[in-house]
Amino acid sequence: MHNKPNKLTLLLCLLAGLLQTGPLFAAILPQTAAVPGGIVIVDLGPANAAVPTVHYNKKRVMVVQNNGQWQAVVGIPLTTKSGKQHLKIAGRQQSVNFQVSTKKYAEQKLIIKNKRKVNPNKDDMKRIRGERGRINSALRHWQQQATVETRFTLPVKGRLSSPFGLRRYFNEQPRKPHSGIDIAAPEGTAIIAPAAGRIIDNGNFFFNGNTVFIDHGQGLVTMYCHMSRTDVKPGQHVAQGEIIGAVGQTGRVTGPHLHWGVSLNDARVNPALFFDDFESLFAVPIKTVQ
């Protein structure tokens, strides 16, 4: 007669089976959109070896463990042309490829009363050039860490006044595409951190006004512009939902709002991809900008 296995024996057998199949951790990753300003997730192989080092356009790329695989989470710059793109992986001769499709974003025409914010004078340009390096340094920041929170909460309650990617004209003059989203709200409305991170810089800039940069790890950086005040300092760690400042109208603006940008491997990407149902977060329906 055979003895029936007890509950402890069954549990040990189950655990042994799970260990043999390898790690099956399921990460909550951003939505994907293989277009300029979008995000792609690329399989790199089984997660049974050290985490690979990946670069795209010479920029370090986030790599996460998901369902027993290493996966690259890649931000696609707004200037990217359609076609085949390449990821370079340290120690491998062959690159890993993915395809990018075209996307036509809508246009937006704005009238700026302060003409210097459209055509800066000589002194303004000197200031702008000095600020550019500081802004770029923050957006290119890399902090290696094992896990990164890539599901956000909305940083401010308000109305989506300008979506991502708009081809913009200020006083009928063409400018760079809109690299974030604008959320209109009354001046003084609290702005919160959408995910945990560390403040890497803050200050007042010519175009962006009072601005805060948060590092969330592995090349994921968020930017908050035109604030009336900032309540955080560089080096400070913030939790998801912690107040970092308030809505204002500093810098180049047409009214009080938050410009919120998300940078991934130094590519400005659509913040909507970090939510399950982005449009449902706004009380006022989102209208297409013509």
pLDDT tens per residue, range 168-220 = 666 666 567 888 999 999 999 999 999 999 999 999 999 999 999 999 999 99
Average pLDDT over residues 114-143: 89
Reading the block at residue 192, the tokens are 């919160």
Burial 56-90 (b: 16+ CB within 10 A, else e): bbebbbbbbbbeebbbbbbbbbbebeeeebebbbe
CA distances for 290 relative to 20, 51, 107, 160, angstroms = 55, 44, 6, 15
The domains of the chain are located at 23-100, 107-281
The pLDDT assigned to 279 comes to 83
CATH 3.40.50.300, applies to 23-100: no
Contact 231, 245 (CB under 8 A): yes
Q: Quick check: 103 pLDDT over 80?
A: yes
Q: Quick check: 257 pLDDT over 50?
A: yes
Contact 128, 120 (CB under 8 A): yes
Closest CA to 207 of 114, 105, 107, 138: 114
Contact 39, 269 (CB under 8 A): yes
Q: Quick check: 18 pLDDT over 50?
A: no
The pLDDT assigned to 22 comes to 41
Which of these ranges, 56-65, 110-119, 180-189, 190-199, has the smallest mean pLDDT? 110-119
Note the pTM of the prediction, 2 decimals: 0.85
Mean pLDDT of the chain: 87
pLDDT band at 134 (very low <50, low <70, confident <90, very high): very high
CATH topology of domain 107-281: Glucose Permease (Domain IIA) (2.70.70)
Tens of pLDDT, residues 30-42: 999 999 999 999 9
The pLDDT assigned to 115 comes to 74
Q: Quick check: 52 pLDDT over 50?
A: yes
Q: Quick check: 83 pLDDT over 50?
A: yes
Average pLDDT over residues 114-138: 87
- Asked if the domains at 23-100 and 107-281 fall in one CATH topology, the answer is no
Which of these ranges, 105-109, 184-188, 221-225, has the smallest mean pLDDT? 105-109
